[in-house]
Amino acid sequence: MNSQIRLHTKEQLDDLSLSGITLQKTLSSLRLINKLFGNHKQLYKSILAYCLHSEKASVHIVDLGCGGGDSIHTIAYKLHKKGIKASFTGIDGNKQSIKYATSKYNHYENIHFIAKNILDENFTVPQCDILISSHFMYHFRDDALIHFLKKTKKVDHIIFSELYRSKMAYYLFKFSSFILPISQTAKKDGLLAIKRAFSIQELKDILLKSEVKKFVVLKKPWFRTVTKIDL
């Protein structure tokens, strides 16, 4: 693996027509990976910190690239336990992922899902207080992400959790995936995702070019960054 170059090779999950047992197994695998490697925990802690300092009675949170909706469900449950009122909209380009998420969480009145292609140039983020994303921003090419952030003006705060590109992360996942009960698609896509990830400096450069008001990129365990942006 050449960690100096960010690849743009598409993953199997980038196929928005992916469906059936392959999709279901992969979404289940991602739920396990996000739990084991701390992604849900880091997102929740960042959202909680924002909510505790907010004067709003309730917050609306939009999750880009929500997949099977597991991040939303975890965050909703934990915020509820803290007595924080929140509503959620999950957005994903794969209609079958949205169908899967809706079937699992349709009994929650404060959680809704929408099928839209986020990478479409005409996509606009719905009005919300917090925009979150988990392992999705790396799908943007550099210029496209700059453009996306510049046009996202209806949001108070953005939080996204990403892997950063690293040889160690690549080989750790490659060998640990042999013992993890995850699908072959998740294993292959996971390795590609690390090759497609931003380096920390690349991410900072993009944010500076995006002319956001304020941002911080926090380095977290297991080769992860949590980025917080005020627009």
The CA distance from 196 to 137, in Å, is 10
The alpha carbon dihedral of 216, 221, 222, 223 has a sign of: positive
Per-residue pLDDT for the chain (231 aa), expressed as one digit of tens each?
Answer: 778 889 899 999 999 999 999 999 999 999 888 888 878 889 999 999 999 988 888 999 999 999 999 999 999 999 999 999 999 999 999 999 999 999 999 889 999 999 999 999 899 999 999 999 999 999 999 999 999 999 887 788 999 999 999 999 999 899 988 888 999 999 999 999 999 999 999 999 999 999 888 999 999 988 999 999 987
Q: How many residues does the chain have?
A: 231
Residue 63: helix, strand or coil by DSSP? strand
β-pair partners for 112: 89
**Is the separation of the CB atoms in 136 and 113 below 8 Å?**
no
The alpha carbon dihedral of 82, 113, 182, 217 has a sign of: negative
- Give all domains of the chain, ordered by start, each with its CATH number: 12-230 (3.40.50.150)
Phi, psi of 214 (to 5 degrees): -155, 140
